[in-house]
């Protein structure tokens, strides 16, 4: 999900935080409120617009589930347990009662799957496209919240699951990969439409990971966000990045997709750093989280730039939001 | 602000709460989370769409302030102190940087006035109209939150400030009252564009009011909401309803506006009930809150219907959302 604009107009919004530490400088996808001596409250908000973040003709239940799951993914990346969510809906006339029923069924299914209740919201008509805003609340033990800041030179860089399925899945949704095998197309489409928030892994990484976020803008751009917040650089070993069988098949047929896979968005996997001494703990957390993790690079001192090394030792230098030179 | 649709599709959304008591059955403009032994967290969400809740050509700073203030009004109605807010913005291309700067200045002014920080948010582009969603957080001592439910037969019905300025102010904004004196037009327009959240009054009513909400859908409809939640009826004495000098002038010129004043929305005054024995305490709370209050009727046993009595003892019978018979 595009969070870019909030970044670019941070100059506009950061003064509005009035220096409240709970806002974390608006740099961390979430706010942290200390409301009791034991727990911290994590609050995260995402806006989604038809035609921008999803296609209006996507199945309504999938739209609902993706909206909720992308928020739960932010909660997961903070190491928190979700408490509930608030939903704002601006609904165009073309969204009939039948479509809204299907939308609500999607929320009901995921509410059950993740044990997350709707706690409130608002609904209104709009002459524009379907526009959603979800605010999710989570709880984490005091001091445990995972942040973008905290990666230290020498730390390993890890990622959960597989990378690139979301971006390649969007191409499938746009019918741009008609020659790919049906089973691969279905898998990639499902990954694009219904991401998997890594809640159990996130919780297991509390006290283990030095920095963490979810991959929504793309692996390289998001590692750049960790670098900026942590005031360090990073190197990704391209061959170590985990691709699914379906993504591998798509990349084999069209090699340029490898670049898309690491720079596109919508993965909603956890991207995190941890000291080399914590490798066994990371693997234990992955078992607890029920998802594989891969060590894909390391953090080093220096400017917050992400380098991508390929097999031959060549270096693809990438800016925060894409390739600048290679 | 129209909350009507969330009510009408409550059948769709209420099951999504999974019976979580924090959702308060989605009937109370806010959720209540018990996160510590001392305090409760109040969370409220409102969606606003250009052309629906405000006019796209309204001053950007006023749009921002109204969006924030309507949420603070919900926090006030719960007896809570605001902690901060989250903002989602879906921004059309016509909203230039200059307009967004003015929008942010409006938020900055009110953030300072009410001591409320922005804690997070999201911003995205949209092909549709400017669409805002604000989620506000507030804190109230455990057990203190004011609810719609709780009004008892025999209780007085009270309202703060003056009623009808918002609805008549909208007519001024639409240039439908050109013959009204300039000072009255300016006052009504200001009341429509920049409501006054009654935060100090709300806090002072904790432990005093038996039920409370803010007037957003209109006095009669909102008293109907208190009646429904409290399982009781209510009678309003029309002559006791406080109208501003400006609204009185408008009503004198066009008597039909009296009906609009009590059935239109956008007042953002507090509507509350309290036992007759608490009258002195209510007046003390009003002094603490810096706003006058008026006793406008009473609660009685029976169906959740709001009756409006006029001077001659005639009865205007009103449904929850408007007149059905008179």
Handedness of CA B165, B100, B92, B12 (dihedral sign): negative
**Are A187 and A307 in contact, with CB atoms under 8 Å apart?**
no
User: Do A95 and A40 reside in the same domain of the chain?
Assistant: yes
φ/ψ bin of B96: left (φ > 0), alpha (ψ from -120 to 50), beta (otherwise)? beta
Task: Quickly list DSSP for B56-98.
Answer: TTS-HHHHHHHHHHHHHHHHHHTTPEEEEEEEEEEE-TTS-HH
- Give the model confidence (pLDDT) of B122-144 as tens digits: 999 999 999 999 999 999 999 99
Domain range spanning residue A11?
A: 4-141
Position A326 scores a pLDDT of 31
User: Do B134 and B171 reside in the same domain of the chain?
Assistant: no
**Are B263 and B164 in contact, with CB atoms under 8 Å apart?**
no
User: Do B110 and B194 reside in the same domain of the chain?
Assistant: no
**Are B192 and B165 in contact, with CB atoms under 8 Å apart?**
yes
Q: What is the 3-state secondary structure (H, E, C) of B243-281?
A: CCHHHHHHHHHCCCHHHHHHHCCCCCCEEEEECHHHHHH
Residue A149 lies inside a defined structural domain of this protein: no
Residue A151 lies inside a defined structural domain of this protein: no
Residue where a domain terminates, one of B75, B110, B141: B141
Q: Is A228 touching B (CB cutoff 8 A)?
A: no
Position B265 scores a pLDDT of 86
If we measure between CA atoms, which residue out of B126, B131, B145 comes closest to residue B203? Answer: B145
CA pair distance B152, B169, nearest whole angstrom: 33
Inform me whether the pLDDT recorded for B262 exceeds 50. yes
Nearest CA in chain B to A1: B124
Token pair recorded at residue B12: 């769709």
Percentage of residues in chain A having pLDDT higher than 90: 81
Confidence class for position B282, pLDDT limits 50, 70, 90: very high
- Give the model confidence (pLDDT) of B219-242 as tens digits: 999 999 999 999 999 999 999 999
Q: Is A65 touching B (CB cutoff 8 A)?
A: no
User: Do A193 and A299 reside in the same domain of the chain?
Assistant: yes
Residue where a domain terminates, one of A87, A111, A141: A141
**Are A201 and A294 in contact, with CB atoms under 8 Å apart?**
no
Residue A150 lies inside a defined structural domain of this protein: no
Neighbours of B127 (CB within 10 A): 13
Position B324 scores a pLDDT of 35
Position B194 scores a pLDDT of 92
Position B4 scores a pLDDT of 47
Count of A-B CB contacts under 8 Å: 235
Percentage of residues in chain B having pLDDT higher than 90: 81
Q: What is the pTM of this model?
A: 0.91
Matching residue, tokens 């919900």: B74
Residue B147 lies inside a defined structural domain of this protein: no
Inter-residue long-range contacts of B182-185, CB under 8 Å, 24+ positions, other chains counted: B183/B246, B184/B245, B184/B246, B184/B249, B184/B250, B185/B246
CA pair distance A111, A91, nearest whole angstrom: 21
User: Do B282 and B176 reside in the same domain of the chain?
Assistant: yes
Residue of B38, B131, B138 best to disrupt the A interface, most CBs of A under 10 A: B131
If we measure between CA atoms, which residue out of A227, A322, A210 comes closest to residue A274? Answer: A210
Residue of A19, A33, A119, A127 best to disrupt the B interface, most CBs of B under 10 A: A119
Q: Is A86 touching B (CB cutoff 8 A)?
A: yes
User: Do A163 and A271 reside in the same domain of the chain?
Assistant: yes
Nearest CA in chain B to A125: B52
Inform me whether the pLDDT recorded for A323 exceeds 60. no
Inform me whether the pLDDT recorded for A325 exceeds 50. no
If we measure between CA atoms, which residue out of B262, B69, B73 comes closest to residue B165? Answer: B262
User: Do A90 and A173 reside in the same domain of the chain?
Assistant: no
User: Do B34 and B79 reside in the same domain of the chain?
Assistant: yes
User: Do A220 and A297 reside in the same domain of the chain?
Assistant: yes
User: Do A193 and A274 reside in the same domain of the chain?
Assistant: yes
Inform me whether the pLDDT recorded for A244 exceeds 50. yes
**Are B292 and B159 in contact, with CB atoms under 8 Å apart?**
no
User: What's the structural domain count of chain B?
Assistant: 2
Inform me whether the pLDDT recorded for B317 exceeds 80. no
Q: Is B94 touching A (CB cutoff 8 A)?
A: no
Which residues, 6+ apart, have CB-to-CB distance to B123 below 8 Å? A5, A6, A9, A47, B88, B89, B90, B91
- Give the model confidence (pLDDT) of B19-42 as tens digits: 898 998 888 889 999 878 889 999
- Give the model confidence (pLDDT) of A80-135 as tens digits: 999 999 999 999 999 998 999 999 999 999 999 999 999 999 999 999 999 999 99
**Parallel, antiparallel, or unpaired for β B306-309 and B233-237?**
parallel
**Are A237 and A297 in contact, with CB atoms under 8 Å apart?**
yes
- Give the model confidence (pLDDT) of A152-180 as tens digits: 999 999 999 999 999 999 999 999 999 99
Inform me whether the pLDDT recorded for B312 exceeds 80. no
Length of chain B: 326
- Partners of A270 in the β-ladder: A214
Helix and strand numbers (H, E) in chain A are 11, 13
Which residues, 6+ apart, have CB-to-CB distance to B97 below 8 Å? none
CA pair distance B302, A289, nearest whole angstrom: 55
Matching residue, tokens 């309003």: B236
Task: Quickly list DSSP for B141-167.
Answer: ETT----STT--TT-EEEEES-SSHHH
Compute the average pLDDT of residues B63-92.
Answer: 96
**Are B322 and B221 in contact, with CB atoms under 8 Å apart?**
yes
User: Do A167 and A136 reside in the same domain of the chain?
Assistant: no
Instruction: Supply the mean pLDDT for chain A.
Output: 91
Residue A178 lies inside a defined structural domain of this protein: yes
User: Do A116 and A223 reside in the same domain of the chain?
Assistant: no
CA pair distance A214, A160, nearest whole angstrom: 10
Lowest mean pLDDT among A74-78, B16-20, B313-317: B313-317
Inform me whether the pLDDT recorded for A190 exceeds 80. yes
Residue B148 lies inside a defined structural domain of this protein: no
If we measure between CA atoms, which residue out of B42, B36, B46 comes closest to residue B71? Answer: B46
Write the CATH number for A131: 3.30.1330.10
DSSP class of residue A76 equals: H
- Give the model confidence (pLDDT) of B170-213 as tens digits: 999 999 999 999 999 999 999 999 999 999 999 999 999 999 99
Residue A293 lies inside a defined structural domain of this protein: yes
**Are B55 and B88 in contact, with CB atoms under 8 Å apart?**
no
Confidence class for position A265, pLDDT limits 50, 70, 90: confident
Write the CATH number for B247: 3.90.650.10
Residue B151 lies inside a defined structural domain of this protein: no
């Amino acid at each position: 999900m595009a969070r870019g604009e909030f970044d670019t107009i941070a100059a506009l919004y950061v003064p509005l935080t009035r220096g409240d530490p709970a806002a974390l400088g608006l740099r961390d996808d979430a706010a942290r409120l200390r409301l009791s001596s034991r727990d911290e409250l994590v609050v995260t908000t995402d806006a989604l617009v038809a035609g921008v973040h999803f296609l209006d003709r996507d199945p309504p239940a999938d739209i609902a589930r993706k909206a909720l799951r992308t928020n739960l993914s932010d909660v997961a990346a903070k190491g928190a347990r979700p408490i509930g969510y608030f939903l704002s809906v601006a609904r165009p006339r073309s969204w009939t009662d039948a479509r809204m029923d299907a939308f609500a069924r999607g929320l009901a299914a995921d509410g059950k799957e993740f044990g997350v209740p709707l706690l409130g919201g608002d609904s209104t008509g709009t002459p524009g496209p379907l526009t959603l805003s979800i605010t999710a609340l989570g709880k984490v033990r005091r001091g445990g919240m995972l942040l973008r800041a905290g990666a230290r030179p020498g730390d390993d860089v890890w990622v959960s699951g597989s990378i690139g399925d979301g971006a390649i899945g969007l191409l499938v949704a746009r019918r741009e990969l008609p020659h790919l095998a049906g089973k691969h197309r279905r898998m990639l489409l499902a990954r694009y439409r219904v991401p998997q928030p890594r809640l159990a892994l996130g919780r297991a990484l509390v006290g283990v990971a030095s920095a963490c976020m979810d991959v929504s803008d793309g692996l390289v751009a998001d590692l750049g966000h960790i670098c900026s917040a942590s005031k360090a650089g990073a190197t990704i070993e391209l061959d170590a990045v985990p691709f699914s069988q379906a993504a591998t098949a798509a990349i084999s047929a069209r090699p340029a997709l490898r670049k898309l896979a690491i720079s596109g968005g919508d993965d909603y996997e956890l991207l995190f750093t941890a000291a080399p001494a914590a490798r066994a703990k990371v693997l234990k957390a992955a078992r607890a989280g029920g998802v594989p993790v891969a060590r894909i690079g390391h953090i080093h001192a220096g400017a917050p730039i992400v380098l991508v090394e390929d097999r031959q030792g060549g270096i693809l230098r990438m800016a925060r939001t894409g390739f600048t030179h290679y």
